[in-house]
Structure 1
Amino acid sequence: DVLQPVHLLWINLVTDTLPAIALGVEPAEPGIMTHKPRGRQSNFFDGGVFGAIMYQGVFQTILVLAVYGWGLVFPEHHTQAEIHADALTMAYATLGLIQLLHAFNVKSVYQSVFKVGLFRNKTFNWAIPVAFILLMATIVVPGFNNLFHVSHLSFTQWLAVMVGSFLIVVLVEIVKAIQRALGKDKDAI
């Protein structure tokens, strides 16, 4: 078991409420009125959204499993139970942070997060830190870690979690740059 149901429920609750609501009030992308209108037969998955969901989901899975594996291969403890608890905690923290950081990526299907604007949505600017605090509380606040079956992580383990989490932004930015260079952003709408 890489993650337990309580982990998935908490991650979904924390990362899919406040940030999602905040993204709902995200200002429109520049130049949106220059695109052709969508036809009656279009749906939510048109315009490159389905492909983005697929490749980004694969990236997230690989990153979480890589950090989990790192926790198993480079353990900080000696007993199997402690090693597994640390690796599980690392996977849980990575998935939660990936979801929060990935919220910046989904501001646009093709445009760079740096072009769309990192901090122009004040609601989003508050939602991400609040969600981060709620997620981290389950790991660092005594009592919560027993409830969530997680352990305290070392500096090195947190470093692996942070690197794994931030890589989602880098990977998606690279794919978006390639798609823009190929003109996919022009064909999307």
Structure 2
Amino acid sequence: MLRNLVRQAGRPLALGLSLFALWLLLSGYFTHATLLCFGVASVMLTVWLSDRAGVMDGEGVPTRVFPGIVTYMLWLTFEIGKANIAVAREVLRPKLKLSPKMIHIPARQASDLGKTIFGNSITLTPGTVTIDLHDDSILVHALTEDLADVEGIISMGEKVCAFDGEEGRDWARNRKNGGEGAS
């Protein structure tokens, strides 16, 4: 009974703590009691509305990705910075050497959420845009040959697989070891 209660409270608690941490980070108000109370109230209202709307499930509050997605977001921020520099260098050249290219990238993520995170990560990285998503591949448009780095994009997909679920973790592990599914 206690285990069931903890399981039921897990998603609302995870959502509430995540929202409050995000609110603190974005607002910057750590000492004003009134504003902190309003922040707590808004988070509680959001959690309550999410529960009432029935979106407090594994898709709406994917607690399985929380630990891994934090390190992934830090890594992605660094990659976005590197891509910004590469695109700025291309654009500021006296003679533009743009060579647009469309490439197909395998999408081995175990869930729709994982594929969405992977596709959005590609689009967030300057110089690349996710054009289409199929069950097993993503069509990507890249501005230049350098940005159309298939291995680099597949590596990004591996990082998503690492926190997306057991099937995705197995594929990423096999690929890293040069085993089956390494294509």
Per the TM superposition, whether the score is higher than 0.5 is no
Q: Which has the higher strand share?
A: 2
Structure index of larger Rg: 2
Relative to the length of structure 1, the TM-score reads 0.30
Q: Which has the higher helix share?
A: 1
Structure number with the bigger relative contact order (C-alpha 8 A, sep ≥ 6) is 1
Relative to the length of structure 2, the TM-score reads 0.30
